[in-house]
């Protein structure tokens, strides 16, 4: 018996070593492969009907999943929806979109039925899911002036509908943990400049607002109450500061995946401390992560606060191409590059081709189109 146990343990160890060696030696892509590998950016915001975003996506081998959001710096919801419909009609192969909903009237007798009707009509027009934004938890208040959190029972009717109809929900809840820290303690320049420019969202300045931990607890409570919901945590589920925390979240909620949008520098900050740990995280959770950038093209306006990267006169296509290639170099190759946002050189993770293919394409198709994994 003891002999059998020892043999089983030994076999496990040998298998583990063999698997590690196979992963270490598995083929990887090069920088030059970037344009030729099929990819999907599962988190962008195309807010104008010009063709710049689609043009560069086609040239770089990307499909776009554009997310409508109830964000005051974006065009109105009806305008975002019209742009999404137009771009999808123009190139349904490369352009996909998510709808969203307004919190206006939340708690009134007709909010749930009106919102479901709106979402179903957008789904009929091609939307592949729904976005809920951080205004839930951080901005919207009920009649008693209490903040409305995602686990508020007022969402139950809507969320049961999404569960039953298998309509995915992308949830941007809370903010990066940096948002609760003084500027000089933030880990990345991009967070520092965003919160300096958006003091209304910079929670360090608003100590009367909920803590990071409390917002995460409301979100987790919500996910736990909807175990059949296809749940995508935007921005690494706001756990970007620790791959260990993301791993715990995935282990706890089998129905959850996450996108990488606008949080790559946080991952790079961690891999510069322990590259092997971060690489193993991506390999272990290769079925649970979707590539996303948060690239945002707004109508031309030098003061457009929502443009991402921030508008500085560089054509958007140039910015998008540069951004995408930098992320590719980091995830797909072992090459080093300088990352301004963390003021450091960062060596790429050189993830195996099979892992890159999932993160850049197959996982999103599995999540949003319920297609089988290849």
Task: Give dist(CA 80, CA 76) in Å, integer.
Answer: 6
C-beta of 99 vs 286, nearer to Zn ion: 99
**What is the Cβ-side half-sphere exposure of residue 331, based on CA atoms within 13 angstroms?**
31
- Which residue's CB is nearer to Zn ion, number 200 or number 276? 200
> Per CB under 5 A, does 41 bind Zn ion?
no
Closest distance of CB 63 from Zn ion, Å = 17
Rule CB under 5 A: is residue 327 a binding residue for Zn ion?
no
Residues 6+ apart with CB under 8 A from 207: none
Region from 49-57, 99-107, 203-211, 291-299 binding Zn ion, contact rule CB under 5 A: 291-299
**Minimum distance from residue 252 beta carbon to Zn ion (Å):** 24
Task: Please name the residue that has the structure tokens 């209304």.
Answer: 200
Stretch that binds Zn ion, among 58-66, 289-297, 313-321, 354-362 (CB under 5 A): 289-297
Region from 85-93, 211-219, 248-256, 290-298 binding Zn ion, contact rule CB under 5 A: 290-298
Query: What distance in Å separates the CA atoms of residue 62 and residue 57, rounded to the nearest whole number?
Result: 5
**Contact status: 191 vs Zn ion (CB under 5 A):** no
When the beta carbons of 294 and 319 are compared against Zn ion, the nearer one is: 294
- Residue 61 vs 292, nearer CB to Zn ion: 292
Instruction: Name which of 100 and 268 has its Cβ closer to Zn ion.
Output: 100
User: 3-class DSSP state for residue 38?
Assistant: coil
Identity of the residue, 42 or 363, whose beta carbon is nearer to Zn ion in the bound complex: 42
Q: Does 294 bind Zn ion (CB under 5 A)?
A: yes
Cα dihedral sign, 51-52-53-59: positive
297 binds Zn ion, rule: CB under 5 A: no
Instruction: Pick the closer one to Zn ion by CB: 193 or 272.
Output: 193
Angle 290-299-36 (CA atoms, 0-180°, nearest 5)? 40
* 259 part of the interface to Zn ion, by CB under 5 A: no
Helices (H), the chain: 2-25, 52-60, 77-90, 111-124, 135-138, 156-165, 189-197, 212-225, 234-237, 243-252, 264-271, 275-284, 316-332, 353-357, 363-369
Q: For Zn ion, which stretch binds (CB under 5 A), given 19-27, 149-157, 294-302, 328-336? A: 294-302
Are 271 and 344 a contacting pair, CB within 8 Å?
no
| Sign of the CA dihedral running 313, 314, 317, 322 | negative
Closer Cβ to Zn ion, 76 or 117, answer by number: 76
The answer to whether the beta carbons of residues 123 and 167 sit under 8 Å apart is yes
The total of other beta-carbon atoms located within 10 Å of residue 325's CB is 15
DSSP result, 196-208: HH-GGG-GGG-TT
Interactions with Zn ion, residue window 229-248 (CB under 5 A)? none
Q: Is 140 in the site for Zn ion (CB under 5 A)?
A: no
Shortest gap between Cβ of 168 and Zn ion (angstroms)?
15
State how beta strands 95-100 and 344-347 pair.
unpaired
60 binds Zn ion (CB under 5 A): no
**Region of 93-101, 176-184, 211-219, 293-301 interacting with Zn ion (CB under 5 A):** 293-301
Least CB distance from residue 67 to Zn ion, whole Å? 6
- The residue ranges that bind Zn ion (CB under 5 A) are 294
């Amino acid at each position: 018996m003891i002999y059998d146990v020892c043999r089983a343990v030994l076999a496990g160890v040998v298998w583990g070593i063999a698997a590690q060696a196979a992963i270490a030696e598995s083929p990887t892509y090069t920088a030059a492969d970037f344009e030729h590998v099929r990819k999907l950016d599962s988190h962008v915001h195309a807010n104008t009907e010009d063709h710049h975003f689609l043009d560069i996506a086609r040239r770089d081998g990307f499909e776009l999943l554009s997310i409508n959001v109830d964000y005051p710096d974006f065009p109105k919801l009806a305008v975002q929806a019209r742009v999404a419909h137009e771009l999808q009609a123009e190139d349904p192969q490369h352009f996909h979109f998510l709808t969203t909903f307004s919190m206006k009237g939340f708690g009134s007798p007709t909010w749930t039925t009106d919102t479901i009707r709106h979402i179903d009509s957008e789904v009929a027009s091609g939307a592949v899911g729904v976005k809920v934004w951080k205004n839930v938890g951080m901005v919207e208040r009920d009649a008693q002036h209490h903040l409305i959190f995602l686990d508020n029972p007022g969402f139950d009717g809507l969320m049961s509908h999404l569960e039953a109809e298998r309509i995915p929900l992308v949830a941007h809840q809370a903010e990066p943990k940096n948002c609760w820290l003084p500027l000089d303690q933030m880990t990345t320049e991009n967070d520092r400049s965003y919160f300096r420019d958006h003091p209304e969202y910079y929670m360090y300045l608003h100590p009367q607002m909920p803590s990071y931990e409390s917002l995460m607890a409301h979100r987790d409570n919500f996910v736990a109450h909807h175990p059949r919901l296809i749940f995508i945590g935007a921005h690494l589920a706001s756990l970007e500061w620790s791959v260990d925390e993301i791993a715990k979240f995935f282990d706890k909620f089998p129905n959850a995946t996450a996108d990488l949008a606008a949080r790559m520098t946080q991952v790079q900050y961690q891999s510069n401390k322990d590259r092997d740990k971060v690489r193993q995280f991506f390999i272990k959770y290769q079925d649970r992560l979707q590539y996303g950038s948060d690239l945002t093209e707004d109508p031309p306006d030098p003061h457009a606060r929502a443009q991402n990267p921030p508008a500085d006169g560089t054509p958007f296509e140039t910015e998008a191409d540069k951004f995408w290639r930098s992320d590719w170099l980091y995830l797909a190759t072992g090459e080093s590059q300088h990352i301004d946002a963390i003021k450091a050189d960062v060596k790429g993770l050189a993830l195996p081709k099979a892992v890159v293919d999932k993160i850049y394409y197959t996982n999103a198709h599995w999540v949003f189109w319920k297609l089988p994994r290849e």
